[in-house]
Structure 1
């Protein structure tokens, strides 16, 4: 139950920040779909290790390269040591799956993943002014 609560809080925060323009933006003419990528411990995740203790240098460099290209909008570890979450904005699901397949931590089987199309709520427009 605690994992779901943390994940829902994280997802809600991402949506608010994304809609508030707190993340890098693409030109309006490029149609993009938002995906929520959830990483979970894979078969190569060492038993008893915290996510902060894992060999994720190459994964971190890969995430930074995606951010620099405007593809990855937000990412970070789940603080309950259950994996991590990433927000991607890409043309389609095949592009998202290609990004995942090229992730060094997925290739090394440290992470397995879930991928979900996601439509963040624009909460700002629901506020009464």
Structure 2
């Protein structure tokens, strides 16, 4: 399943055309945007609300301090969903957001899919 930030006729990024075709063939792509609508930064943020609502656990793997992944985690918290994060190097800017939600928001620290399944089961 995938949630598109634009219309269903707009694959973004275009390099994901093969992946989109595979999902359409074997799964489901949804969007709240009408056909022909281009994805924008705001629509990506809006889409994250839907992703958070559909997921039992939102797991952030890499996130800078300002990222759409953290936006999704915020929506999940607002909806009362579980949030998990995979920590990375304390020296990496790509891990700073994960460390912040672990420290400040009480996200579950996870390392693999089994850990995420355990959070989901709680």
Per the shorter chain, which TM-score range?
Answer: under 0.3
**TM-score normalized with structure 1 length:** 0.24
If asked which structure has higher relative contact order (CA below 8 Å, sep 6+), I would say 1
Please identify which structure carries the higher strand content: 1
Please identify which structure carries the higher helix content: 2
**TM-score normalized with structure 2 length:** 0.25
